[in-house]
Amino acid sequence: MDFLEKLKKAIEKNNSLLSIGLDPDLTKIPPHLQQTKDWIFEFNKGIIDTTHDLVCTYKPNIAFYSSLGVYGTQSLHKTIEYIHSEYIDIPVILDAKRGDIGNTAEKYAEEVFDVFEADAVTVSPYLGLDSLEPFLKRKEKGIIILCKTSNKSTIDFQDLEVDGNPLYIHVAEKVVEWNKTYQNCLLVTGALWPEQLKKIREIASDMFFLVPGIGTQGGDLENTLKNGLTKDKSGLIISSSRGILYASDGKDFAEKAREEAQKLKDSINQYR
């Protein structure tokens, strides 16, 4: 089963467009876990076990693991392996934002898909098509391409006008063109920019968008859904990390995370 098929089935099964970002931070996790042998995995497992029926994907960000060296990357692999074995219907997006020249990109694709066994990955289009082809040729995987990101400094480059349109519009148009060949492209469109998201949806009418920025970053959920949903009330993967993960720093952290995930899922469905 390829990523997009798996994603659609998870959305239908759990009636959810919610993705939880698994971004473990030692300074924020409950103290009772900090002395365990593998605090990363134990924290992630608690979140996963209590929220697996509320989400359409999980999205670990590789920086929270690789910054801890071998220990962290082993825990990342263990986490993805756990999801694949225990909750086989839920796809995993590895948020890695890879983008490099062709031969290096080939190795990054091997890292993401062969080593960590992710179902999808985030990538940067800045170097053009040949830097993405090693990912795109993995037809069964999801390739999620940065378009209009959720950070405030996105305006430094993504909003620059090129031939009468901002750069992010050209990116969206190009990804739609690539998708005619590869049929596994998605776009990253941040929730801080609902009006821009609307423009991107007009270009990529049927494509799935990964939408960060809801929750701690202050994204506008109602307008994001209003402007970003496809005609069948789908097409969005709404990502939240800190607002769910760190709802409690006590032994009830997983239960409190579930409560916040349930609230966000319900809010999303309210506007669908």
Task: Kindly list the catalytic residues.
Answer: 97
Q: Sign of dihedral through CA atoms 195, 197, 202, 203?
A: positive
- CA distances, 166 to each of 163, 173, 199 (Å): 8, 11, 11
At residue 93's C-alpha, the angle toward residues 186 and 65, to 5°, is 135
The whole-angstrom separation of Cα 129 and Cα 113 is 19
Give the pairing of strands 236-240 and 165-166. Answer: unpaired
DSSP 126: T
Least Cα distance to 58 among 31, 79, 28 occurs for 79
